Structure formats: structure tokens, C-alpha cells
Structure 1
């Protein structure tokens, strides 16, 4: 079976989005599915090229010439239509080249609508995977406001993609419930949650080079790995760290990553305590495991926004899979991952006192940290391992292929004998036969 994945972006750009794609595609290859990737113009290559990444063809797209025109391109809808048209054309081209059996489009919604146009042209089934609401992400990044023209237009595109897809996938229970409450059919809406490759993210000894470089010996290390967006709540984590440093000096905070809040976070660090704060900058994929190995307590103090309430993050799962003690805020997406007092700790979003007390408790109880870490990994292996999650996609693909075939064959009288069925099957065009 060949599946064309239409993505916003992929590796080598590092993000939670690209890592979910990596896990999904890697597992599908091991299952015997042949994945092919097409990234949108947002990948920023701006060339219609093809490269081989980890054994998978990654086709790139370029922006439509429309994007280089002056002001008319900002008229609502025109820019979006140009994007859909250009990406649909590229999707048709790549799908024909690789002889894809189905098209699997991933957020944002314009990818889905481009895939829908291509699938209709090719008479192929297509799936839309909603990973996040683009309009809510735009609000959190300060690009728009709730229920503005831009917000409502993005929401309308999202609804079109979900309704027109042969099947739709969400990545969190919170998102699933929200869509069902809005009237979407449970028969068409399926959940494939966030997961992690537990064979890659497994317990390992602390990295000796990092211990020496950052002078971590004898310290309890608190850490965050990810992007520095405002909704991650890292200002609160830095504030709590400043409070703890009034009482003790045996702790350090590693903030591994980069983003829009970096300068504000650095500004909140008192000069006399600067050696207790480690800003690594953006780190390479292979260094993520090394940094997890030297962190004792991973903290994810997300703020409550519509996006964080409805979406989950893979970062806590990575930490849990490596037997790190995890603390997360009580937002919907985060609370889905952590069982309070069993596989980690969940604290109220605005409660800095409890966050500080929980961190302090774990600093003072190393044996409890280790026990929680072991339980966390056991939970991840059981419920969130990509080796198991990927099996859901195989079922979904077979379901949508069977449904599409039934629609195409409706009204055609089936051959009566096995010989007639075989002769009839061989007479069909090759692209109409599922390849497994």
C-alpha cells in the first residue's frame, strides 16, 4: 500500500509536528506500508525538489507566483485559493508519480483542501488529520484575535476539510470531544493520539560531556526541552526557579530550545544566579536524547488557552519514556498524558506556589523521582508507543480504501465465478487496485 502524506513541513526542521510525522512514517515503513511525503510551501525550500530522508522520498513544493504579487493577494480568500490550487497541482503530480493508493493530509486545513481537490481529480480516497487548530495557534502567537475575520475564515476552512474528508483523525481526546459537541459525526471522526518511539527514547546514563560542560555534577537538574512560545508558561518556571534559589544552590535549570520568548526569559534571570540557568539555544535532533539524560525533573507549565486545552504535546511523553519525573500544568491536553501522583504531577496553571513546592519535593526525594519515572515509562509503553499507535492507521487505511472501492463499484454486477472474478480484476486499471 502506498500512502502520500501531505505535510506542512518535515525534518530537517525540528518541531513537535515534524517528530510526529517522523514516528508515523518510520512505523509505517516497518509495517510494510510505503509512505511518500509531500511538504507544503511552508517548508520553505521554494523548489520542486525531491530528497531521500531516512529511506523515504520527500517531495518539496514552491510558492505560487501569486504570492509575489503586490497588495491584491491580501484580499481574503485569494491567497488561500492560490495556495490550495498550487498545492493540489503538486499533489496530483506526486501522487501519479508514486502511484499512491490514498492521500493522507495533515494540518493545516489548506493542506486538506488541496488534498481533497487532488483526490477528487484522481478518484482516490483521502484522509484529513487535524493536529491543531491553525486559528487558535495564530491567536496564541499574537497574529490575530478570537473571532476576527482571519480567525473565522481559518475555522471555516477547517470545517470544510473535516466534513469533506472520507475520514478525519484527531490527535487528542479533548479535540475529539470538542468536535463531537459541534455536531461532527462520530462514525467519521477517529482519534490517533500522540505517542513516542520507546525504543529510541529509553533510559540512558547521564551524558558525561554535558555534565562537564554545564557543571552539573552534584546538582539536581530541572529542565524544559521545546520551543519557547508564550503559551508554554516558561516565565513562571523561571520565576519559580528564582524563588527556589533563595533557599538553595544545588539546582540548575536547563532551557533547551529557542523561540519568541527567549529574550524575555533571559531578562528575568538575576545576574548573580546566571550560572544556575542554562540556555542551550536550538539543539540538533541527536542532542535531544543527551539533554534528557542529564535532566532529573522535566517541567511543562503550559498556560490555559483554547489551543493548549485541546492539543497535546509529545515532549512530556519523550521525558516519561526516558524515566524522567514530569510535572505538567492542569490544561486539557497535558492532563491527558499524566496520571497525577502516579506517573507524574499535575498542578493548577496559575498556582506557582504548588509548582514550586512540587519541584522542591522532587528535589528532596530522588528515590520517588526514580519510581515515578519507571511508572511513567511503563504507562507510555502500554498506551503511547508508536509501534502500537501506528497499527490504528493500518486499520483506518483499509477502512477508507474498502469504503471507496465499494462506492466506485456500486451498481456493477460482480463476476459469478472465481475465474471470472480473477479475469475481471486483471482487466481493471492498475491504479484502481490496492497495492499491499
Structure 2
């Protein structure tokens, strides 16, 4: 089986998107499939048109000049489709596997129709909801509604759809999509990367000034929807109850400057530590010094529909997990069993939940073990990758009766 993955961006860039992609492609390689990936114009300029990163062959698409919407998006689709077509001629895949956003599916559909190839579209989040979560869009706006309609159009025309969680699956069924067309391929952990936690890194803890403290941590991107402002706001209340509590924030993103200013003005500023971005190969050192990984996502459509990856990595590292009680977290965390759920958008409620968890040391080891067991049994990429096999096989077996699609509609955003 030869699969060509169509990506918004990929390695060596680092993001939750690229880490999931890497896990999928490496797991497919270990299964014996031949895989390659084409990254779109938004990956940015690269020195090489083709390169191998971490044993994966990547083909790059040149960026296109920026212009107003929707003309910029149309240029991107055309440029990406041309590059995909070139790679198809060279790699000769059996299946095209496009990953969100929907622009990738639209580019892939053009090539799939021309080359008579089956295409799978994998949705990690709806583009319109991601824009709202990132602060670049408004729910219910003309652009939001147009993007949503375009997503639905694409889903109806690809051969199969994979989604990362039940929230997205139920939403698509509500749009009239045949449930039989949908497969859930949940977020998972590559246990070859996160399988064995490091021992407590005393030197790192001492350098950060958290040796012997009760450490709350966040490792990820600093977007508004992550709710880190609520976590910082909870710290004075938490320190009142647990004086040794320290907060370690690893990562960066659009909200970093505002969060640093908020932390500097906090009465417990000395308890809040910003680390910045660290190489992915160094992340497990920071996991080793954290007692509780906190994920205080705000309640909105994006966080209710989409499951994050980071809590799974934390469970694989045998860390305690505490998260806001939103739909995406409820698919991953069983309250007071594998983790703790606290009210979203509520710093006081968050502080109470974290204080209670820190005080319950007798229950820590059991929670750690149950969280780790959940990831090994249900969110392990060595097992998750098998979900693609029947989808690919059905599509390749059925290509003889494949019918062409109509032309994509014009973008109207």
C-alpha cells in the first residue's frame, strides 16, 4: 500500500499538527506501508523541493504571493494541486490522504479526479472553528458560514472521512453526512517517543527554582482558547492553600506577551515561570519535574468538539492530569479516575480542584497507573494505525466503480 499524505505543514516545523502527522506516518511505515507527504504553500519557503526528515520523504510546495481572500486561497489550492499532481506522477500512490484544513482536501480532490485515485480527508478541527479559537474569526460571520459550507461540500465529495474524535463525528452526522463514511482516528501517543518517562530531573528543577515544590505545568501553544490567563489568575488562590505551589509554562504563541504581563502583575509572580519553546526531544525532561499537567481550555465550540493531544502525552509520562470540563477533555479524562475535571472559565474553581488534587497524595499513583493504562490500550499509535487499513482497502478495491466529482465551487469568504 502506497499512501501520499497532503499536509498544511510538516516536519521539521514543530506543532501539535506535525507531531500527530509524524506519529501517523511513522506508524504506517512500521506497518509496512510506503508513505510520503506533500506540504502546502503555507509550510513556508524551504531550501529543498524534496527532503527526508526523520525517515519520512517530504515534497514541498512553493509559497504563493499573499493577496486578499478568497483570491489568495484559490491561488494556494491551484499551486498545491499542481505540486500534488507532480508528486503523484513520481510516487504513484494507491491513496491520497488529505489532512485539514479544507484547502488541502480541495487541492487533493482536483488531483484525485484527474488521476482517478481515491481520497481520504482527515479532519482534526473545523477550519472555521479554529479561526474563532485563534482569534482570527467570528462565529456566525459571513466568512464563518462560507467556510463551514465549503467544509461540508468537501466532506460530501471525498471517498472517506477520518475525524479525530466523536465530537467532530457527531457534528458531521448532524450535517447530513452518512455515518458509514466516517471513521474515528483518535489522537494518540507514539509510545516509542513517550513510552518511558525520565526520572525526576533534579538539575533542571534546581535551575528553574522549583526543587521540592508542588509543580503545576502546562506544555503546549499559548492560544487564547487554552485558557492560560485563567490558570495564572488561579495561582494566588492556589498558593494561599498550597504555599509551595509553582507554575511552569513551557511553549509560546500569540498570547505569550499578554500572559507574561499578567504574570508579572500577579501577587504571586515569583511562583510563575515561563520557559519558552523547547525542542521536542527535550520535552520529557520538563514532564519529569511536573506533578500536575493543567489544561484550562475555555468553553467554546472548538474545545467542546475537538480533543487535544497533550493530555495523552502527559498520561503516557505517568503525570497527573487536570483539565477544564469541556467536551474535548471529557473524551479523554474520566473525572476522579484517570484525571480531574474542573469548571471552565472559573479560576476559583480551578484553584480548588488543583489544591484538592495536590493534597490527595495517597491517590496519585493509582491515577497515574490508570492514565497510563488508558493510553496504552486506547490511544497508542501502534494500535490506532490499524483503523486506516479497512478504509484504504475498501477504497482501493472499489476504484473500478469510481465516478468523477463535479468541479469545486468558488470560494466566497
Q: Give your verdict on TM over 0.5.
A: yes
Is 1:311 aligned to residue 306 of structure 2?
yes
* CA deviation map 1:299-320 (0-9, x unaligned): 1010011111111100000001
Summarize the alignment of residues 168-317 of structure 1 with structure 2, pairs less than 5 Å apart.
Answer: 168-201=161-194, 202-269=196-263, 270=265, 273-317=268-312
Measured after TM superposition, the shift of residue 134 of structure 1 is: 1.1
Q: 1:109 to 1:47 in 2, by over 3 A?
A: farther
What is aligned with 2:365?
A: 370
- Give SS of 1:187's match: helix
What is aligned with 1:39?
A: 39
Measured after TM superposition, the shift of residue 212 of structure 1 is: 2.1
Distance in 2, matches of 1:11 and 1:318, equals 19
Q: Is the 8 A contact 2:6 2:104 kept in 1?
A: yes
Measured after TM superposition, the shift of residue 206 of structure 1 is: 1.2
Q: Is the 8 A contact 2:235 2:268 kept in 1?
A: no
Summarize the alignment of residues 23-172 of structure 1 with structure 2, pairs less than 5 Å apart.
Answer: 23-45=23-45, 49-64=49-64, 67=65, 73-74=67-68, 76-172=69-165
Distance in 1, matches of 2:176 and 2:192, equals 39
**1:361 pairs with 356, 361, 374, which one?**
356
What is aligned with 1:426?
A: none
Q: Which shows bigger deviation, 347-356 or 35-44?
A: 347-356
What is aligned with 2:7?
A: 7
Q: Is the 8 A contact 1:48 1:62 kept in 2?
A: no
- Give SS of 2:193's match: coil
**CA-atom RMSD in angstroms:** 1.7
Distance in 2, matches of 1:358 and 1:83, equals 46
- Give SS of 2:252's match: coil
Q: Which shows bigger deviation, 371-380 or 37-46?
A: 37-46
Q: Is the 8 A contact 2:163 2:186 kept in 1?
A: yes
Q: Is the 8 A contact 1:324 1:370 kept in 2?
A: no
Q: Is the 8 A contact 2:152 2:175 kept in 1?
A: no
Distance in 2, matches of 1:272 and 1:120, equals 61
* CA deviation map 1:84-103 (0-9, x unaligned): 11111100101111111111
In our comparison, the structure showing a higher alpha carbon Rg is: 1
Q: Is the 8 A contact 1:321 1:377 kept in 2?
A: yes
Q: Which shows bigger deviation, 303-312 or 270-279?
A: 270-279
What is aligned with 2:406?
A: none
Listed as ranges, the gaps of 5+ residues in structure 2 are: 404-413
Distance in 1, matches of 2:305 and 2:268, equals 36
Is 1:337 aligned to residue 353 of structure 2?
no
Q: Is the 8 A contact 1:328 1:335 kept in 2?
A: no
Distance in 2, matches of 1:98 and 1:15, equals 26
Q: 1:272 to 1:149 in 2, by over 3 A?
A: closer
Q: Is the 8 A contact 2:41 2:61 kept in 1?
A: yes
Q: Which shows bigger deviation, 266-275 or 43-52?
A: 266-275
Distance in 1, matches of 2:353 and 2:9, equals 37
Measured after TM superposition, the shift of residue 369 of structure 1 is: 1.9
Distance in 2, matches of 1:364 and 1:406, equals 62
* CA deviation map 1:11-70 (0-9, x unaligned): 222211111101001100000011101111111125661111111111111123xx35xx
**2:384 pairs with 364, 389, 393, which one?**
389
Given the two structures, how large is their TM-score scaled by the length of structure 1?
A: 0.88
Q: Is the 8 A contact 1:47 1:60 kept in 2?
A: no
Q: 1:333 to 1:247 in 2, by over 3 A?
A: closer
**1:400 pairs with 395, 401, 407, which one?**
395
* CA deviation map 1:326-375 (0-9, x unaligned): 01111111110001111001122133333212211222222312221111
Distance in 1, matches of 2:111 and 2:75, equals 14
Distance in 1, matches of 2:30 and 2:269, equals 46
Q: Is the 8 A contact 2:135 2:224 kept in 1?
A: no
Listed as ranges, the gaps of 5+ residues in structure 1 are: 409-436
